[in-house]
Amino acid sequence: MLSNSSNVSSANASNDQATSGTGSVDFSSILKEKLGAVNDKQISADNTTTQFIDGKDVDIHQVMLSTSEAQMSLDMAVQVRNKIVEAYQELNKTQV
């Protein structure tokens, strides 16, 4: 449960950082931050797996959880990318 509250507070902090002086949200900075978070999860899962393979004191459940979380984050990022591309293509079809 602690990770959920820290995710919410980090999301609020990122939204505060991404707003410019006019109050608008900078989409590219939010996107970069979230993709960085996905990358961090991938690296963390890889490190946990490597530690487990090396015989260090890592619980198999932690390896599975971090790997699953990284995979779900990547899947979500791919779906968001697909929706962004779809929206862009739809805007290009719009006649002015």
- The more confident residue out of 78 and 5 is 78
pLDDT category of residue 7 using cuts at 50, 70 and 90:
very low
Better-predicted residue by pLDDT, 7 or 41: 41
Cα pseudo-dihedral 71, 75, 78, 80, rounded to 10: -130
pLDDT tens, position by position, 16-73: 554 555 667 888 899 999 999 999 999 999 999 999 999 999 999 999 999 999 999 9
For residue 21, what is the DSSP state? T
Boundaries of every domain in the chain? 27-93
- Token pair 């929706």 in the structure block, residue: 83
- Report the predicted TM-score, pTM, of the whole model to 2 decimal places: 0.68
